[in-house]
Structure 1
């Protein structure tokens, strides 16, 4: 196992990002976690850098009958982002997934309201934005997040994850200005195999973490 838990993974990522900060490569930083798994990772990074943290709710669109396998994702009110190759392989098109998209959009709104309440979304324009997740299997949720944020014209858009495959890393380098992935195994069966403790993160843990950070973004 490479990481004890998500906090450990965040501490390891923070070491790399602290080097960038010391070199003056980061300015006006905000850390955005993809909930729920990215939240404990992101919290360690934000604490180490002494910068604000918030969440960006993104919802995966799963393969029909195998919902845990992501074939698309949504962020905000943006159109869905799909893995076009996978759609073709499965003989699907966007209309086949319209009801799934609608259902996940409702869940996205529910979670965004739960996590944020009346707190406004963070300012993105001209800032250094570090997007954090606990690992990437297909990379589709990270792709949707990065495209959503790119439309808001950040000064620098960074994706930081503990583990992903070399192929996913190469694909997402085209979406982000910088990408940090600590481990890129040639075969990635699951993100969880890279953690000794990979218990699901609860909504209450997300809320507790956001309250403990309690920084204005």
Structure 2
């Protein structure tokens, strides 16, 4: 990882209307039981699967250097949920183009003008059924998986300004804090330091 990377966090009022709509929907759904929500979500996934087949999600592993240590950029929702930048592909969309679209939408305001350097695929996770659990291997029972999540390494230029929606926080978290911290970050994010162990980090003194 050559060069010094500087992360800047900005919150944008332009997303306020969308956020208010999302929050109102969440407030309505909060009255439902967890079992009811699970059934509704499973039904939605089933309809989507029947229409489009395997759902593919792409997520970005973006590193920055802070205090002479590599940090991973994460989005935080409501001070508790951590996720990698990225999201679901559109039908027929390629992994690279879809990831670039998602990064531009979630981290910038110029969706069509930002160029992202997407590198190699670091890993793939599979959802064997319409449930919440993901596994780093194909289902052994021979069933067709319902979702695949792919992690791609994305390299930043020397300087980059990020702009995120108002309901999200952009955090730079040290790899030493993420490593095997399953309880806080979940299986995918907590396993990223192991995926990155094959790389050598070149920290340049400023």
TM-score where L is the length of structure 2 = 0.27
Comparing both structures, which one devotes a greater share of its residues to helix? 1
Comparing both structures, which one devotes a greater share of its residues to strand? 2
Pick the structure with greater CA Rg: 2
Higher relative contact order (CA 8 A, sep 6+): 2
